[in-house]
Amino acid sequence: MLISRKLAAAFNEQIGHELGAELQYLAIAAYFDRRHLKLLSKLFFAQADEEKQHALKFVHYILDTQGDLQIPAIPAPKPTFASAEEAAAAALKWEEEVTGQINKLMAQAVEETDYMAQSFLQWFIDEQLEEVVKMDRLLSIIRQSGERNLLMVEAYLVHVEQ
């Protein structure tokens, strides 16, 4: 086995976090879709897809290193939001939590001197910086625009995508 049982167990737990993020982003996408904010909805559907891919990276890593794959139960996501700001704040909070989780995994890989796991996790560390910045900016734009001007946020997203 190329991965310790302890690190494999932690990676299995992270699979649950990534799949939980996927479900939360699907709920946020649905919230924006119901409000006919199609670009915000599209953004969060794409985020959900990314989170699923992150989970699959962990799945394949565990399998490739002959670890014991055990996908955990996933709690239901928060289903509704009072405002766009609340939805975006939830997304930012989630990304900050995931960043802490990934950092904890890296610390464990360093402690175990598992260089393959460290190399694998470095991609996630780089990705988390990008994700936290993206959600922080989105929340800032939503706050500046205000709930009554969310079409300005949609216009911002058009600009950012180009």
What is the domain range of residue 15? Answer: 5-161
Number of domains in the chain: 1
Residue 57 CA to residue 53 CA, distance in Å, equals 6
**pTM of the predicted model as reported, rounded to 2 decimal places:** 0.94
Q: Which two tokens stand for residue 118?
A: 């460290």
Residue 162 CA to residue 158 CA, distance in Å, equals 7
Confidence of residue 162 (pLDDT cuts 50, 70, 90): low
Contact 17, 74 (CB under 8 A): no
CATH number where 142 lies? 1.20.1260.10
Q: What is the pLDDT of residues 4-47, one digit of tens each?
A: 999 999 999 999 999 999 999 999 999 999 999 999 999 999 99
Q: What is the DSSP letter of 35?
A: T
Chain center to CA of 11: 15
Q: What is the pLDDT of residues 81-99, one digit of tens each?
A: 999 999 999 999 999 999 9
